[in-house]
Structure 1
Amino acid sequence: MAEDTPGESGLAERAKDVLAPLHAGLLDEAESLYLDLHRHPELSHQEERTAALAADRLEKAGFDVVTGIGGHGVAGVLRNGDGPTVMLRADMDALPVQESTGLPYASERRAHDDEGEEVPVSHACGHDAHTSSMLTAAALLARARHAWRGTLLAVAQPAEETGDGAQAMLDDGLYSRVGKPDVALAQHVVPLPVGIVGHRSGPMMAASAVVKVRIFGRGAHSSAPQAAIDPVVIAAHVITRLQTIVARETDPASCAVVSVGTLHAGTKPNIIPETAELGISVRCYDDALQEQLLTAIKRIVAAEAAASGAPRPPEVEVTEGVPVNHNSPESTSTVRAAHEACFGGRVIEMPLLAASEDFPYFGAAGAGTHYDGTAVPTVYWVVGSTSMEAWQSAPGETPQEKVKNLPTNHSPLFAPDPRPTLLTASEAMVTAALSHLAAPVN
């Protein structure tokens, strides 16, 4: 049986039935889990405690659970008769950010990053809310198996912030081990008012890449520049020339960013160093354009080094990169209709977001490539997390002006309003899942 529409199948009524326990105590459990996760954040690739909590919650809800997928990834499978397989995904990792919210449950954790440096850790991006609401939605659907048919796949993903967690789970056989979904669903909290659900069909978030460049020169005393090949000068020419990629090589109708964020060279003013290193950020809304931008960067770096007589070719490495987060139009339309039936006028149209996500790897960017050649449709939406008090007091007349004056994701002051955020996020994920799971047989 094909999935049904809200108007034709009574999806709104089924959603109300499934969500009833949320208003009768389960929201308290969701909030308790959120506060626990917020106090105990874990960096990318270190999500051991969070993964154990996720696995425990899923097992208690009746899921068959597989752990250790692609690192600390967790997948729970709940089979409930014939019907589509629907995947719910939440990211678990936190950031190396010192929380400055002053909240009684603020993180005070410190941990060692991948380079061994001790850093503060906090859930400054809201992944604690994602994990809590996904697990809550999974528990609600498990309790109400009379309201749907199919297979529910709950995935707790590590290492989203480093952009490699989704691909690591796929490379470790996620879909071959637990089954390939017919649709993958995910959401993210943003600094909009609590209760808001934002949708966009097609491209929603940018493709991004981080490029590390190492330029080689020949060192000398600064008083004898003729004896040197100055990598700082080469780097300066590279930085200037990189600006032409967007200005002169990219269609003005296309959005693209090529920014040099770091430049490291030398130890003293009177020493011409042997090397210079650049860190470059690339963003756009088209995967083919991203490849074009990366190719241009490599060409310019190599040409400038050769023009200066560098003793060896530069090293250019793409250290991070994710594709465009592209919402499948048909599946997005289905989810949006279900959300509109549940939330009414609180569903809004979202603009393109410059932030990036590795969630697309679960869809066309990863699953189709590694398995049977077909893409997994993906739907990704946002949920408001700013308290009404904070929203109303923020300066500005328009939503855009208010958002500029509120702490955003990755800010040390980012502080979702837990209970109403978890309520909307849990309702949104349950309703989205029901819109693609089969209706029960009467």
Structure 2
Amino acid sequence: MNPPSHPAPPPATAGHDTPPTARGGHDTPPPASAGAHAPSATAPSPSPPDAKNLLVRAGDVLRPALALYLDLHAHPEPSGQEARTADRFGRRLEEAGCEVTHGVGGHGVVGVLRNGDGPRVWLRAELDALPMREQTGLPYASRTDVMHACGHDLHLAAAAGAAELLARLSDRWRGTLLVVGQPAEETLDGAEAMLRDGLYERFGRPDVVLAQHAAPLPSGTVAHAPAGAPTAAAGAVLDVVLHGRGGHAATPHLAVDPVVTAAAVVARLQTVVARETAPADQVTLTVGTLRAGTAANVIPDRAELGIGVRASSEAALDRALAAVRRIVLAESAAAGAPREPEVTVVSRSAVLRCDPHAADAVRRAHIGLLGAGRVLSWPGSMATEDFPLFGDAGAGVHGQHGVPLVYWMLGVVGADAWRRATAGGPDASPPPPNHSPHFAPHIGSALRPAIAALTSAALDRFAAG
């Protein structure tokens, strides 16, 4: 996922809570006082701990969570190859007291913490990283061509920390906690793989699935979409193969050049948004990869494109995908290609909408945790997720309807960086966004509230059960 930057309130005052091994040793906002709103549900016995105390209690599990984060950040693995990441995450869940199962839908990990009769609350985090070279300059930066440029390492560390904290608070809740480490989110096929491997049949239908995602917002804040509004867009990834007739660069008239066809396709695809999408719809189309040829004096016989399409509705996505297919076929025919192109939808995701009742309850729990001024409104984004498959969007896979989903954005920008970004003038520059080679959560100020936000949400849902 790749959430964009959006305007947000000024950062909290810098504090002194940063672990010494993390960047920015004195840039951490202090715990906020509780807001006027109480947690969402009237808590039965056992009851959640005082919301203001959760940020303090998160410090009890901060050191092992930080160690996991630093390890995962330095050793990222791409989608479908997350064996080491899954192993390290599973070990931390075992140390937290979970019964751990590996190899669910690939490298998927499921940790189960049973604590009597009650709701089944699931926490989901992602295992995979992106195929790109890190340029943050951090001492724990990846040294390979793979990078945690979307914050999944933070999600995993927070989920493991929340599991350990909930184990320590076992006298305050009843039910079953499941922590899911999902592979292949960036390619939008990991959730489906886990579900097709019997995730719900093997581990029981969830009463709610919770997830959070790093965003370029101030550390110590979270952001929720308004009730019923989409949090993330629908999306699809397509692979396109254009066929030509290879030949010598000195005799182009004897060949059919698929590179020229690919260039025409790329140019024409820009009209899908500019001239075929209604102004009221939101659609983005990106040609992220284009591969062709082996030498400058050889006309190749094929060109390959990787195309990502996102839309604010399923209908708009369907229209955009139809336009892509039409343009690819037409440009190939216009070039006199010897055979029709291949257009394959590799993966597709639905619009992400949270359950209104559960999401509102979690939002109020976060107000109790952080204070009203640090719980922001999320306007939605054109990022895509396969998280909707855990709910009704995946009912055709897992056979369950009405599974509530709650998903929020998590601020990861330190106070100094946020002040620079919002100062205005020629020196102002936005924080590096997700999927940038410079993206780096300020872990010293982001990890503690990330653990506390997940724990607070889980305790609220256990109490509501």
**How would you bin the TM-score normalised by the shorter chain?**
0.7 to 0.9
Relative to 1, partners in 2 of residues 1:29 and 1:292: Cα closer, same or farther, differing over 3 Å? same
Q: Please, which runs of 5 or more residues in structure 1 have no aligned partner?
A: 111-119
Cα distance in 2 for partners of 1:126, 1:331 equals: 24
**What TM-score comes out, normalization by structure 1 length?**
0.86
1:89 aligns with 124
Relative to 1, partners in 2 of residues 1:392 and 1:237: Cα closer, same or farther, differing over 3 Å? closer
- Work out whether 1:32 is the aligned partner of 2:73: no
Cα distance in 2 for partners of 1:126, 1:205 equals: 16
Instruction: Find 2:279's aligned residue among 227, 247, 252.
Output: 252
- Work out whether 1:103 is the aligned partner of 2:128: no
Instruction: Find 2:388's aligned residue among 352, 360, 378.
Output: 360
1:239 aligns with 266
User: CA RMSD, aligned part only?
Assistant: 2.8
Q: Is the 8 Å Cα contact of residues 18 and 144 (structure 1) preserved in structure 2?
A: no
Relative to 1, partners in 2 of residues 1:263 and 1:397: Cα closer, same or farther, differing over 3 Å? same
2:58 corresponds to which letter in structure 1? L
1:304 corresponds to which letter in structure 2? E
Cα distance in 2 for partners of 1:267, 1:61 equals: 51
Cα distance in 1 for partners of 2:298, 2:69 equals: 52
Q: State the Cα distance separating 1:336 from its structure 2 match.
A: 0.7
Q: Is the 8 Å Cα contact of residues 41 and 464 (structure 2) preserved in structure 1?
A: no
2:79 corresponds to which letter in structure 1? S
Cα distance in 2 for partners of 1:85, 1:58 equals: 17
Deviates more, 1:242-251 or 1:179-188: 242-251
Relative to 1, partners in 2 of residues 1:253 and 1:121: Cα closer, same or farther, differing over 3 Å? same
Instruction: Find 1:70's aligned residue among 105, 117, 133.
Output: 105
Q: What does 1:240-389 correspond to in 2, within 5 Å?
A: 240-266=267-293, 272-344=299-371, 345-366=373-394, 368-389=395-416
Cα distance in 2 for partners of 1:372, 1:267 equals: 47
Q: State the Cα distance separating 1:348 from its structure 2 match.
A: 0.4
Relative to 1, partners in 2 of residues 1:270 and 1:37: Cα closer, same or farther, differing over 3 Å? closer
Relative to 1, partners in 2 of residues 1:173 and 1:373: Cα closer, same or farther, differing over 3 Å? closer
1:420 aligns with 445
Q: Is the 8 Å Cα contact of residues 148 and 439 (structure 1) preserved in structure 2?
A: no
Q: Tell me the alpha carbon deviations over residues 254-275 of structure 1, each in whole angstroms, 9 at most, x when there is no partner.
A: 0012233444445566665433
Q: Is the 8 Å Cα contact of residues 131 and 147 (structure 2) preserved in structure 1?
A: yes
Relative to 1, partners in 2 of residues 1:78 and 1:237: Cα closer, same or farther, differing over 3 Å? same
1:79 aligns with 114
1:167 corresponds to which letter in structure 2? E
2:96 aligns with 61
Relative to 1, partners in 2 of residues 1:299 and 1:31: Cα closer, same or farther, differing over 3 Å? same
Q: Tell me the alpha carbon deviations over residues 97-132 of structure 1, each in whole angstroms, 9 at most, x when there is no partner.
A: 333323232333x3xxxxxxxxx2332222121111
Cα distance in 2 for partners of 1:98, 1:303 equals: 36
2:161 aligns with 136
Q: Is the 8 Å Cα contact of residues 14 and 147 (structure 1) preserved in structure 2?
A: no
Cα distance in 2 for partners of 1:203, 1:154 equals: 24
Q: State the Cα distance separating 1:335 from its structure 2 match.
A: 0.9
Relative to 1, partners in 2 of residues 1:397 and 1:349: Cα closer, same or farther, differing over 3 Å? farther
Q: State the Cα distance separating 1:297 from its structure 2 match.
A: 1.4
2:43 corresponds to which letter in structure 1? S
Instruction: Find 2:200's aligned residue among 175, 178, 199.
Output: 175
Cα distance in 2 for partners of 1:5, 1:105 equals: 37
Q: Please, which runs of 5 or more residues in structure 2 have no aligned partner?
A: 1-37
1:6 aligns with 40
Q: Is the 8 Å Cα contact of residues 18 and 141 (structure 1) preserved in structure 2?
A: no
Aligned to 1:383, the other structure's residue is in SS state strand
Cα distance in 1 for partners of 2:87, 2:443 equals: 22
Deviates more, 1:153-162 or 1:342-351: 153-162
Q: Tell me the alpha carbon deviations over residues 381-422 of structure 1, each in whole angstroms, 9 at most, x when there is no partner.
A: 111111112221336449xx96x5222222232222223211
Relative to 1, partners in 2 of residues 1:300 and 1:57: Cα closer, same or farther, differing over 3 Å? same
Relative to 1, partners in 2 of residues 1:46 and 1:269: Cα closer, same or farther, differing over 3 Å? closer
Q: Tell me the alpha carbon deviations over residues 224-244 of structure 1, each in whole angstroms, 9 at most, x when there is no partner.
A: 665444434443443343333
**What TM-score comes out, normalization by structure 2 length?**
0.82
Relative to 1, partners in 2 of residues 1:61 and 1:249: Cα closer, same or farther, differing over 3 Å? same
Q: What does 1:153-172 correspond to in 2, within 5 Å?
A: 153-172=178-197
* Count of residues paired in the alignment: 422
Q: State the Cα distance separating 1:88 from its structure 2 match.
A: 0.4
1:43 aligns with 78
1:410 corresponds to which letter in structure 2? H
Deviates more, 1:126-135 or 1:302-311: 302-311
Identify the structure with the greater strand proportion: 1
